[in-house]
Structure 1
C-alpha cells in the first residue's frame, strides 16, 4: 500500500463509506476499487477527481507531505485522517477524564 492509497482508505473510513459504496459511485467493480486502495492499480487523475468529489476533499491538500486534514469542515464531512472509531475512542477517554476530574473537584473543600 502506498501513501496515497492509504490516505484514500482513511478518508473513506472516516466518512463511514464502504468499498462497495465507493465502487458503485465510481461505476467500477468492488475488486477494482479494492486494488486502488491497496495501491495495486495506477490511480489516474480523472479517477482521483471522481473520488475527491465523492469523499469531499481538496486535491491540493491530498498531495501535501504532511496533511493536517483533507476536509474543510470536519464536523460536516468527517475527521480528516483519523477514523471515526479512533475519534470516538478518544472522545470516550476525554469524557471519562472529565467525570473523574469533576468527582475530585467536588470532594475538595470550598
Structure 2
C-alpha cells in the first residue's frame, strides 16, 4: 500500500519540483520536507491542506489514491453531464438566432 508520503512525492515530481523547492513553497526546511515524504513525520491536517493547496491536488488524493479516483470519476461524470446540457442550450440559442434572422429577412 502506498503511503501519504509517497503520494506527496508523486505530486511534487509531477510539478517538477525538487525537495528544496517544495520545502521553500511550504516555508519549511528541506530536511523537514524529506521526513514528510519518507513518513518519518506525522502530518497534521493544516500541513496536509497546505501541501494539497501548494501542489494543486485534492486532499483525498494525498490520503487515499482509490478514494481520489472514485471522487474524480464521479466529478468527471457530473462535468460531462453539465457539458451536454450546455451544448444543448447552445444549440437552442443558435436555433433562436437563426429564427430571428429569418423573421428579419436577413
TM-score range, shorter chain: 0.5 to 0.7
TM-score, normalised on structure 2? 0.58
Shift of residue 27 of structure 1?
Answer: 1.1
In the other structure, the counterpart of 2:55 is: 55
Q: 1:22 to 1:70 in 2, by over 3 A?
A: farther
In the other structure, the counterpart of 2:39 is: 39
In the other structure, the counterpart of 1:103 is: none
Shift of residue 61 of structure 1?
Answer: 3.5
In the other structure, the counterpart of 1:15 is: 15
Query: What's the Cα RMSD here?
Result: 2.4
> Radius of gyration: which is bigger?
2
Q: Quick check: 2:52–2:62 contact (8 Å CA) kept in 1?
A: no
Distance 1:10 1:21 in 2: 14
Identify unmatched segments of 5+ residues in structure 1: 72-110
Q: 1:50 to 1:25 in 2, by over 3 A?
A: same
Give the structure with the larger helix fraction: 2
Aligned residues: 70
Shift of residue 51 of structure 1?
Answer: 0.5
Report SS of the residue matched to 1:43: coil
Shift of residue 60 of structure 1?
Answer: 2.6
Higher normalized contact order (CA 8 Å, seq sep 6+, divided by chain length): 1
